[in-house]
Structure 1
């Protein structure tokens, strides 16, 4: 997949998006037909039935199975953190990456409890992207290369990809992307992130406003918005989402920051994230608005705002259960249970 990003990088990315695989409707139809024969009232499993159909369509397999789920966490650092937009120092990003490796983070506990694979990608933490209030995050080649790096998330094989992130200051970066994509005011898109106080929230608002004003205000090409405002982890997650689409791997996107990667792709082509579920709605106040714009109903609403892929990983547990329930349930005939009527 990364070999496709040669020549003029953004032109190649647009070319990839122009030939996205679509869902396998035959697989969906097979799941739907089997569902009518299972030992339960029609529709009684609610969204679990929807998840089974979604998996089948994007895996092109009926019944769908989730045997090798992988949580991929992308970690990046941001020059804008120097503007005091976070309650924590930038050094926490590296410390948390080490915590992931030691098994001490929340995501480690979720993955070990529910048998989810975990990969962590360190995106040059020692070289933060520039302060986006003053200069662009990337040049075009650097942005495309980072997207290509993110495509490696599916190397080694997976049948369900969960994407998450770690990066001090990245809720400000995500807010700037949303502001540039959707307009409004900077205040519409910011939240308290890691728990900034009122003064920190004002610094964050100012930084987002200045960053978007620097690139000419809201509007413009989505890849240019990503290039000029995005962090490495957001660009890498966008690449991971694209690679998964071409390999027929369904994706569950985490919260406020991870959704920014999906939002860039959606702005290029709304169909580009059809193979994605959003795992949860973040406690960050703007996330629900973003999900409405993307036409995505979150799997969970638990008031979470940790990142690390935690909400999406919990959603993956339900998706895996949906697949196993559909595949393992007996039909009325197999169980000797009479149908109604």
Structure 2
């Protein structure tokens, strides 16, 4: 845990020279300054983390981590835990939404089940993972990211994981189960109440560690959340830009932001999900979503949808003519 904490505290910065080169080119393109809005920001962000004045998106990877949760025994989900493994099979067969969206994004999809899909412990009764289990999941996520990656899109699959994500968000940013619990994969009012109760029970049991982001990720999180944390850390250390998916993915990455003031500078938030707490969490992290489509599927669906938007940003940056090239009078 100490080595992981040290790794999270010592993160490399973006490439300032690449960002400046992109800004210089942007200033002479045939458009009013700032008229492409966030597309201009996205091109600069990609270049700064890739270390390229002309960013590329040739090797785009989508990684979905899957894990099960012992807290499901508390009735926090309308779906049985078996669905996690069944959906992993559906991913392999090409039948899930993310298979279609990754194809549209021209991205390579990888699905990684954690701990052979054995559930974590019920975090209302014990830490979700012991240190060895937690670190193994973080290491699996870290090892899943090839350094030669132009863009990494992250997502998850795990019945019950919105409960774990809500508990972790509450632990990191204060609040209780009522404030952070939502419908997830379709819980009714009674189900949401059970989620809130489980979150409060978990926070009470692990209250002594509430000021330690990594300990709380271990105690109330999950295998797939830990793997996402590892993948986000690996991406940062290799200067790979990251696209985060929805509520669970954002919560999984959040400990890095608590351990380093610029911990998520290499990440953008693809969308704001229909899970109400996602918007709250995004504001805590200072992340502005690119899209708002009322989605709440997970499995990196929103992250994959953001890839064509990023490709559009790069197409404008690389393909537009300058005023001089086009023979257009520049602004006086």
What's the TM-score, normalizing by structure 2?
0.97
Of 125-134 and 207-216, more deviation after overlay is shown by 125-134
Q: What residue in structure 1 maps to residue 250 of structure 2? A: 259
SS at match of 2:234: helix
Say whether residues 1:123 and 2:114 are aligned partners: yes
Matched residues in 1 for 2:32 and 2:152: separation? Answer: 31
Note the C-alpha offset of 1:333: 1.7
Deviations 1:30-84 (A, max 9, x none): 0001011112221111100000010111111111111111111000000111111
SS at match of 1:12: helix
Q: What residue in structure 1 maps to residue 240 of structure 2? A: 249
Matched residues in 2 for 1:126 and 1:304: separation? Answer: 25
Matched residues in 2 for 1:333 and 1:219: separation? Answer: 58
1:279–1:312 CA contact under 8 A, matched in 2: yes
Matched residues in 2 for 1:37 and 1:137: separation? Answer: 54
Task: Tell me how large the CA RMSD over aligned residues is.
Answer: 1.3
Of 260-269 and 229-238, more deviation after overlay is shown by 260-269
Deviations 1:281-304 (A, max 9, x none): 111111111111101111111111
What's the TM-score, normalizing by structure 1?
0.94
Matched residues in 1 for 2:5 and 2:104: separation? Answer: 39
Q: What residue in structure 2 maps to residue 136 of structure 1? A: 127
Matched residues in 2 for 1:290 and 1:212: separation? Answer: 17
Note the C-alpha offset of 1:155: 2.4
Q: What residue in structure 2 maps to residue 336 of structure 1? A: 327
| Equivalent runs, 1:110-259 vs 2, <5 Å | 110-155=101-146, 157-216=148-207, 219-259=210-250
Which of residues 4, 17, 22 in structure 2 aligns to 1:26? 17
Note the C-alpha offset of 1:183: 1.7
Note the C-alpha offset of 1:270: 2.4
| Equivalent runs, 1:314-333 vs 2, <5 Å | 314-333=305-324
Matched residues in 2 for 1:278 and 1:312: separation? Answer: 8
SS at match of 2:262: helix
Q: What residue in structure 1 maps to residue 95 of structure 2? A: 104
Deviations 1:114-140 (A, max 9, x none): 211111001124411111111111122
Runs of 5+ unmatched residues, structure 1 = 1-9
Q: What residue in structure 1 maps to residue 41 of structure 2? A: 50
1:187–1:205 CA contact under 8 A, matched in 2: yes
Deviations 1:275-325 (A, max 9, x none): 010111111111111111101111111111100111111112211221122
1:182–1:218 CA contact under 8 A, matched in 2: no
Matched residues in 1 for 2:237 and 2:117: separation? Answer: 32
Aligned length: 332
2:83–2:159 CA contact under 8 A, matched in 1: yes
Matched residues in 2 for 1:336 and 1:227: separation? Answer: 60
SS at match of 1:48: helix
Q: What residue in structure 2 maps to residue 64 of structure 1? A: 55
Q: What residue in structure 2 maps to residue 304 of structure 1? A: 295
Q: What residue in structure 2 maps to residue 35 of structure 1? A: 26
Matched residues in 2 for 1:19 and 1:224: separation? Answer: 18
SS at match of 1:37: coil
Note the C-alpha offset of 1:331: 1.4
User: Cα gap change, 1:332/1:161 in structure 2, threshold over 3 Å: closer, same or farther?
Assistant: same
Note the C-alpha offset of 1:218: 7.7
Note the C-alpha offset of 1:156: 6.8
